[in-house]
Chains A and B, each alone.
Chain A
Amino acid sequence: MVQQKRRKPRKTARFLNMLLLVFAFLVVFEGRLIINIASKGGINKQVDEQLNEIFSSSDFQNQDEATAESETSSETASKYPANVTPFANGAGSTSTSSVAVDDRCIVKKQATPVDDSYFSDAVFIGDSRVEGFHMQSGITQGTFLTGVGMNCTDIFETPYISTASGNVTVIQALKNNSFKKMYIMIGTNDLGYPDFEEFRKNYTKCLAELRKLMPNAIFYVSAVPYVEEAKVQTGDYVNNTNIDTVNQIILEICSANGYYYLNPNEVLSNGNGALAADATSDGIHMYPEYCAKWLDYLHTHYVTADSSSSDSESETASESETASGASL
């Protein structure tokens, strides 16, 4: 009996030792797991909250419906932002077919380049080529709303913009944001139109809807950069002939509606209506060297309050920024 009584404390001690070891093991390894699980739950909660905020907003829904309903009323959209002197010839004109283009809509090279701070209040909207430009050009400022495959037909319906809570539409991404400059760079994914008048209609609508969202912004609308046809696998429609066609349409839309037309092909072309040789791996998406050239072009091509005058090179960059109301 006495021996049995002495053994019980030993068993208890061994049990306690084992328990301590297990406890130590749990503290060291499982503690981290528990923390991770807890933090992951926190992330999911945040994601859910953000999604609810975006998708349950009646304001957004109304805005989206209004966009859809106004498809045919792009001609009535306001033509000029208040802070930029319009090029007057196109004012009031709604015709975009075979019109004489007012070349004052074409952004001319300025003598003094701006630096990246000029883009601090700008948003760039574009396709995978613009996504590549964002990544590879070295640009340090500006907001980029880009997505592979973006085109003017479904830009407001397809969720092209990546966020931590999934992809959202351009409209959703623009919501609650204000920008003083808009760079629109789409069109490559629209080259397959069987009828380019349909492209004209959709592109005009796209720009008009964006202007409704940012009525006071300066609108820079970019020509579609050329491609290296020999490398393009879909060359039956992604070719420079079609690019010239859509660029002429984009220019006419800009002229008629008060948007500013940028033509990066001035620095990207080989001089013969094609993208410079060896600028890409697939004929379309440019290497960093050419994205940097594209950025240099944007540094020297911007509008001033007197952009409609012929001598725009006389102003300094800082003066022009102040004059255009684009305070930085």
Chain B
Amino acid sequence: MKKLITLLVTIAMIGVMLTGCGGSGKEVTADPAKLAEDLSKTASGDTLSSISEDILASTYLVDTSKIDSCAAYVGTGATACEAVVIKCSDSSYVSEVKGLFETRVKNQSDLYSSYNADEVKNLDNAIIKTSGNYAVLCVTNDTAAAEKVLKEAGF
């Protein structure tokens, strides 16, 4: 009986390891440019356009030397909508990027609160997710659509 329990516990632990602690079970391998573009299409009311890596770095304050690839779509200024996907060179940088995204959302929320209160709602519902070496920020007025895109990508 004890042998059986030991065996079951071991199998369970191995199972947990292989499934990544209860995650979706699908490793994210998305192309940041494609994923960012797909996320940008969930926003309406503004036209989001791709920005250069330099502008991305100065806007989101990330260290490009620690980034494998990245992409971002931002609006004209009419809304706070934006979609950013960053694939870090090493997973150790992911949590820092996540923190920078959180600061970005807070900064934007502070500014929009006295400028365009409707956008604060979108910022309140901002999606910030990480998986493996990836970090994603999406501010959109259709979070359900964005969540669906992310789920299909493995987040």
Q: A residues within 8 Å of B by Cβ?
A: 14, 17-18, 21-22, 25, 28-29, 32, 35-36, 39-40, 43, 128-129, 131-132, 134-136, 138, 140, 144, 147-149, 159-160, 162-167, 189, 280-282, 284-288
Checking B2, B54, B74, B77 against A14 with a beta-carbon cut-off of 8 angstroms, the contacting residue is: B2
A25-B13, A25-B17, A132-B77 as given contacts; A149 in contact with B49, CB under 8 Å: no
Q: Tell whether, in the assembled complex, residue A167 and residue B111 are in contact, meaning their CB atoms are under 8 Å apart.
A: yes
Closest to B74 in A: A135
Within the complex, what minimum Cβ distance (angstroms) separates B40 from chain A?
A: 13
Q: Tell whether, in the assembled complex, residue B112 and residue A286 are in contact, meaning their CB atoms are under 8 Å apart.
A: no
A35-B92, A39-B92, A282-B46 as given contacts; A149 in contact with B10, CB under 8 Å: no
Answer yes or no: B6 CB below 8 A from chain A CBs.
Answer: yes
B45-59 interface code vs A (CB 8 A; 1 in, 0 out): 111010110110011
A14-B2, A40-B95 as given contacts; A164 in contact with B115, CB under 8 Å: no
Closest to A286 in B: B76
Instruction: Report the separation of the CA atoms of residues A21 and B10 in the bound assembly, to the nearest whole angstrom.
Output: 8
Q: Tell whether, in the assembled complex, residue B116 and residue A148 are in contact, meaning their CB atoms are under 8 Å apart.
A: yes
Closest to A162 in B: B107
Kindly list chain B residues whose C-beta atoms are within 8 Å of the C-beta of A25. 13, 16-17
Q: Tell whether, in the assembled complex, residue B17 and residue A28 are in contact, meaning their CB atoms are under 8 Å apart.
A: yes
Q: Tell whether, in the assembled complex, residue A162 and residue B91 are in contact, meaning their CB atoms are under 8 Å apart.
A: no
Instruction: Give the contact stretch, choosing among B31-39, B96-104, B134-142.
Output: B96-104
Checking A29, A135, A162, A280 against B55 with a beta-carbon cut-off of 8 angstroms, the contacting residue is: A135
Q: Tell whether, in the assembled complex, residue A167 and residue B107 are in contact, meaning their CB atoms are under 8 Å apart.
A: yes
Answer yes or no: B21 CB below 8 A from chain A CBs.
Answer: yes
- A25-B16, A135-B51, A162-B108 given. 9 additional CB < 8 A pairs? A17-B6, A22-B13, A36-B95, A39-B96, A135-B55, A148-B77, A282-B78, A284-B78, A287-B76
A144-B58, A148-B111 as given contacts; A131 in contact with B96, CB under 8 Å: no
Q: Tell whether, in the assembled complex, residue A147 and residue B76 are in contact, meaning their CB atoms are under 8 Å apart.
A: no
Nearest 3 A-B pairs (CB), nearest first?
A149-B115, A132-B77, A285-B77
Q: Tell whether, in the assembled complex, residue B95 and residue A164 are in contact, meaning their CB atoms are under 8 Å apart.
A: no
Checking A43, A129, A162 against B96 with a beta-carbon cut-off of 8 angstroms, the contacting residue is: A43
Interfacial residues of chain B within 85-121, with CB under 8 A of chain A in the complex: 91-92, 94-96, 99-100, 103-104, 106-108, 110-112, 114-116
Grouping DSSP codes into helix (H, G, I), strand (E, B) and loop, the B interface class, with mixed when no group exceeds half, is helix
Instruction: Report the separation of the CA atoms of residues A273 and B111 in the bound assembly, to the nearest whole angstrom.
Output: 30
Answer yes or no: B61 CB below 8 A from chain A CBs.
Answer: yes
Contacts A/B (CB < 8 Å), 17 sampled: A14-B6, A25-B16, A32-B91, A35-B92, A39-B96, A128-B77, A131-B77, A134-B55, A135-B55, A135-B74, A136-B74, A136-B76, A148-B111, A164-B61, A280-B78, A281-B78, A285-B46
Answer yes or no: B8 CB below 8 A from chain A CBs.
Answer: no
Answer yes or no: B9 CB below 8 A from chain A CBs.
Answer: yes
Instruction: Report the separation of the CA atoms of residues A74 and B10 in the bound assembly, to the nearest whole angstrom.
Output: 77
Instruction: Report the separation of the CA atoms of residues A286 and B6 in the bound assembly, to the nearest whole angstrom.
Output: 66
Q: Tell whether, in the assembled complex, residue B9 and residue A18 are in contact, meaning their CB atoms are under 8 Å apart.
A: yes
Within the complex, what minimum Cβ distance (angstroms) separates B118 from chain A?
A: 11
Instruction: Report the separation of the CA atoms of residues A18 and B78 in the bound assembly, to the nearest whole angstrom.
Output: 58
Instruction: Report the separation of the CA atoms of residues A166 and B104 in the bound assembly, to the nearest whole angstrom.
Output: 8
A281-B45, A281-B47 as given contacts; A29 in contact with B21, CB under 8 Å: yes
Instruction: Report the separation of the CA atoms of residues A28 and B59 in the bound assembly, to the nearest whole angstrom.
Output: 34
Instruction: Report the separation of the CA atoms of residues A285 and B80 in the bound assembly, to the nearest whole angstrom.
Output: 12
Within the complex, what minimum Cβ distance (angstroms) separates B91 from chain A?
A: 7
Q: Tell whether, in the assembled complex, residue A164 and residue B76 are in contact, meaning their CB atoms are under 8 Å apart.
A: no
Within the complex, what minimum Cβ distance (angstroms) separates B11 from chain A?
A: 11
